[in-house]
Structure 1
Amino acid sequence: MMSVPTLKTDRLILRAWQESDIEPYIEMCADEEVMRHLSGKPMTRQEAWRHAAYIIGHWQLRGFGHWAIEHKESGKFVGRAGFFNPEDWPGFEIGWAIHPNFWRQGFAEESARRALAYAFEDMGRKEVISVINPGNTASIGLAEKLGERYLRDDEVFGQPVSIYGMSKEEYLAQ
């Protein structure tokens, strides 16, 4: 069983998933606005549960994945952030999704910055990408704020996506 590292920021804890994260994750995945740019439609309860299992399993298969984000002060589930690189993916991707109760508080940026530091400084990654729906201006803005730049257009699961990314050199130059 793989041990998931715990990362901390001023306000957040990025940690292994727990059973108590599943209900707020199901709630988050049922939200039309959250899912509009991720899967295109809200997930059913069963789909969200299976997606959480996919995220947890990614850690076991790849040695990295998305952390559950916990709000330090309240202990509440904030969302998820971390890395994906499943079979046939365009590259080692950093991604994030925040529960609507925690929008517009800078938690996506805070968790993504900590995850990026981990990727480049602890994992020794040479490049990180973000696979973003071209209409998701908020995620494009965050990717650019993190220092990522537009790389190319691509297709994932038959859907057009924009690939943003940065090299370790670009990260270290910030």
Structure 2
Amino acid sequence: MRTPRLVLRPVGHGHLAELVALKADEAAFGLMLHGVRTPERSEQELREDIAFWAARGYGTWAVHRAEDDAFLGITGLMERPDGRGVALRFALWPWSRGKGYAREAARAALDFGHRAGLRRIIAVARESNHASRAVLADLGLRDVGNFEHQGHSMLILESLSPSLGFQHESQEKGA
């Protein structure tokens, strides 16, 4: 998948070294669910990501800068292990931040998911993670709840398929 400045490729075995490095870096992956990963865990997650793509037709993309193919990080759509639904996620190298790459990559993933038929896509961010919250707000995700996780206040945001407008799930159910 291409955007004006990025190339997004479904993760594959050729991305293993880049993923191991990214996921071991506290500044890049420390705020992600379950934090930094060991090389073994990163390899296991890559196998799971490849299987998820095969089963669902969406998943995690490796984000590359189009001009020089530099690996910037990941974005994707994954089923949350807590049952909250399909979630948008992104993690980029700190040196690539502040240039709009996360926003551009996450927008592409979000749009892909809605075109693929996902009515509702959520995102979860620490309340204190202002950078991620700004990206999600710029993408039009709206706050719909919160919960505590390992001593951190977590926000739940959602994006509904454009055909649903801005109606929230709770409104759909008559709550």
Q: Same fold (TM over 0.5)?
A: yes
Tell me, yes or no, if the aligned pair for 1:28 and 1:100 is still in contact at 8 Å: no
Residue 132 of structure 1: how far off its partner (Å): 1.6
Partner of 1:43: 37
| Displacement of 1:155 | 5.6
TM-score after normalising by structure 1: 0.82
Cα 1:15–1:123 shift into 2, 3 Å: same
Alignment partner for residue 148 of structure 1, among 133, 141, 156? 141
Aligned partner letter, 1:66: T
> Is contact 1:89-1:156 (8 Å) kept?
no
**Structure 2 CA distance, aligned partners of 1:170 and 1:136?**
30
What is aligned with 1:28? 22
Unpaired segments ≥5 residues, structure 1:
1-6
What count of residue pairs does the alignment treat as equivalent? 166
Please tell me the residue identity of whatever aligns with 1:118.
F
Root-mean-square deviation (CA, aligned residues, Å) is: 2.5
Instruction: Provide, for residues 78-112 of structure 1, a one-character-per-residue CA deviation record: whole Å limited to 9, x for no partner.
Output: 21112011554301211111123322221110011
Residue 72 of structure 1: aligned partner:
66
Cα distance in 2, alignment partners of residues 113 and 106 from structure 1: 11
Gaps of 5+ in 2: 167-175
Q: Secondary structure at the match of 1:151?
A: strand
Shift in alpha-carbon separation, 1:42–1:117, aligned structure 2, 3 A: closer
Structure 2 counterpart SS, 1:101: helix
Match of 1:125 among 106, 118, 122: 118
In structure 2, do the counterparts of structure 1 residues 44 and 89 end up closer, same or farther at CA, with 3 Å as the change threshold?
Answer: same
Q: When the two structures are superposed, what TM-score results if normalisation uses the length of structure 2?
A: 0.82
Q: Identity across aligned pairs (percent)?
A: 26
Q: Which residue does 1:166 correspond to in 2?
A: 159
Q: Does 1:92 align with 2:86?
A: yes
* Greater Cα shift, 144-153 or 28-37: 28-37
Deviation sequence 1:45-96 (CA, Å, 0-9, x none):
2122222222222212333211111221111222111201155430121111
Answering whether residue 105 of structure 2 is matched by residue 104 of structure 1, we say no
- State which of 13, 19, 22 in structure 1 corresponds to 2:13: 19
